[in-house]
Structure 1
Amino acid sequence: MAAVCTMVGRLGDGLVLAASLEDEAGSTRLLEPQTQAKRLLRTLSYTSPARASLDAPPYLLHYLIELDVIYIAICDAHVSQERAFTYLQQVAQEFSAQYGDRVKEPTRPYSFIEFDTTLQKLRRSGGGRRRVAELDKKPQEVQHILRDNINHVLESGMSLSDLEGSSSRVSQKYRGGLKNSTRRCRFYAKTLVVLLILLILLYWSMPGEYFIVL
């Protein structure tokens, strides 16, 4: 089972459109992660990365933005990003098929609460093997997924786009340093080769008596 809690919200105002828990009896332990997820819905904007994974101990919170809708899955820490985002992609496909043209209509939370039935079916079927196979054929674009602590994101007031920019700058700085190091190594190697050639030429051009043969 990919998620212990799934939440669907509207991008722009963070209105919760639908939600589902794996186990209602365990809802108490999910109160804090759910609160964090709702705050995240209000934090995300049109400039935020399309997907990210955030640490929300003891869980991981994964989100996906598609067609002005935010899909959030709260998962156990052992669930891989690939599995979580495959699940979210399936949820996005089902939700878009059922409510895609009505997303802007709701004015109250949980207007599409009946979507919980679909979410339960996806969880019970492991996400639907046929749909998983179909998705595996498509580029999942999960090579680089932002990973940070959700409390840091929410409490610092730093937008996820800022975090992504910082991550990109660090990556570019690292690549720049690596490129400079490579250039220096090549320069030293070329210099050494030139010096060796000069020494060889000097050896053959000097009279024999200037060299000591051991």
Structure 2
Amino acid sequence: MVQLTMIARTSDGLPLTASLQDENLTDYQTRAKQIFRKLNHASAPKLAIEHNNMIFYYQIDKGVCYLCLCERNFSRKLAFAYLDDLQSEFYVQYGNRIDKVTRPYHFIEFDTYIQKAKKSILDTRNHSALKNVANELQDVQKIMVANLDEVLARGTSLDVIQSKSSNLMSYSQQYRDEAKQLNRKSNLIKVGGALTFILWIVWYFIL
């Protein structure tokens, strides 16, 4: 289930609102703030960050980062469906005020909606609807998974991690393309060998 939810402005990492399930998770809340401070305009729009037996999921939209903390066995699709729900409602309520506030947790009253959204995830009657939303998020399984220590490493920003991910995807695509070419060549060689054998049979027994 969702253990922690935080929403922050990406330009300066200012927390706009938060909801903490358990007071024992204050260390994770501190980690979330550190993640916010690592964000910039080139950061990955969606990311999963592993830490101990938990995973931070975040997505960025219109200069705001929506983040939640879940157990490892919690559905990634449902986590991003939950964040997508928060994103839509938060922007409707506060979209024209986000850049103007200076006080942390200025929109703390949004916790009321956060609690409602979390209950929707737990309510089995809403599971089918949530899964339909989650199924529309076609690229969720392609979202990069990073380690918190790597994310918070000195001198490492989330755009660098995104660049590494893009390079890995490029190398992976190149490998797949080369594998396909080798496979085609192998098939051509097999076909050529079979034709040669058939022609030899025809020549030997018929001609």
Task: Bin the TM-score by the shorter chain.
Answer: 0.7 to 0.9
More displaced stretch, 120-129 vs 163-172: 120-129
Which deviates more, 181-190 or 125-134? Answer: 125-134
Aligned to 1:102: 97
Partner residue in 1 for 2:79:
84
| Backbone CA RMSD of aligned residues | 2.8
Counterpart Cα distance in 2 of 1:81 and 1:65: 16
Q: 1:132 to 1:17 in 2, by over 3 A?
A: farther
Q: Secondary structure at the match of 1:19?
A: strand
Mark the CA change 1:194 to 1:102 in structure 2 (over 3 Å): closer, same or farther. Answer: same
Q: Which amino acid aligns with 2:182?
A: R
| Partner SS for 1:91 | helix
Question: Displacement, 1:43?
Answer: 0.8
What is the alpha-carbon distance in structure 2 between the residues aligned to residue 153 and residue 39 of structure 1?
9
Structure 1 residues 135, 178: closer, same or farther in 2, change over 3 A?
Answer: closer
Q: Does 1:146 align with 2:144?
A: yes
Q: Measured at CA, do residues 200 and 33 of structure 1 come closer, stay the same or move farther in structure 2, by a change above 3 Å? A: same
Structure 2 distance, partners of 1:180, 1:133, is: 41
Counterpart of 1:42 in structure 2 is: 37
Q: Within 2, Cα distance between the matches of 1:11 and 1:45?
A: 6
* Cα distance, 1:201 vs structure 2: 4.3
> 2:189 aligned with 1:191, yes or no?
yes
Q: Measure, in 2, the Cα distance between the counterparts of 1:21 and 1:38.
A: 13
* Residue in 1 that maps onto 2:129: 133
Asked if the contact 2:3/2:70 (under 8 Å) is kept, the reply is yes
Aligned in 2, Cα 1:185/1:48: closer, same or farther, shift over 3 Å?
same
1:190 and 1:108, CA in 2 relative to 1: closer, same or farther beyond 3 A? same
Deviation at 1:65, TM superposition (A): 0.8
The structural deviation recorded for 1:174 is 2.7
| CA positional deviation for 1:103 | 0.2
Match of 2:7 in 1: 8
**Percent of paired sites with the same residue:** 32
Task: Name the count of aligned residue pairs.
Answer: 203
Partner SS state of residue 54, structure 1: strand
CA distance in 2 between partners of 1:207 and 1:50 (Å): 68
- How many Å apart are 1:142 and its aligned residue? 1.6
CA distance in 2, matches of 1:78, 1:134: 17
Distance 2:128 2:203 in 1: 74
Q: Is the CA contact 1:86–1:132 (under 8 Å) kept in the aligned structure 2?
A: no
The 4+ residue runs of structure 1 with deviation greater than 6 A are 127-132
Q: Aligned to 1:101, what secondary structure does the other structure show?
A: coil
TM-score (norm 2): 0.83
What is the CA distance between 1:114 and its match in structure 2? 1.4
The answer for the alignment partner of 1:212 in structure 2 is: none
In structure 2, what is the Cα distance between the partners aligned to 1:126 and 1:194?
A: 58
**Aligned equivalents of 1:185, 1:132: Cα separation in 2:** 42
- Residue 136 of structure 1: how far off its partner (Å): 2.9
Q: Which moved more, 1:179-188 or 1:78-87?
A: 179-188
Counterpart residue identity of residue 163, structure 2: G
The answer on 1:71 being equivalent to 2:66 is yes
